[in-house]
Amino acid sequence: MNYIIVPSEHLEKVNFSKVKQTSSKSLRYSLDKEWFLLKYEGDQPTFVYGITQDAIGLPEFSHEEILIILKGPEWNHRA
């Protein structure tokens, strides 16, 4: 499983058929709602390149890496 963190301003660009989340209601948002998390298998979905406007995409995180991020102050009230 791979994870990316996406700026919330790009929510309308997400193709939910290409990620594990089913809609905007199933997304995990940062506490300030500025970012959301997407989970997928394999390569980054092609819609991501429309967000970044390049061929690189967004930084990708493993399950272990994203768990550390989600424990941080931007994502967790208890951090």
> What are 30-59's pLDDT values in tens digits?
999 999 999 999 999 999 999 999 999 999
For the entire predicted model, the pTM comes to 0.93
Give, rounded to a whole angstrom, the gap between the first and last alpha carbons of the chain: 25
Per-residue CA distances from 5 to 23, 25, 47, 53, 78 (Å):
16, 16, 14, 16, 20
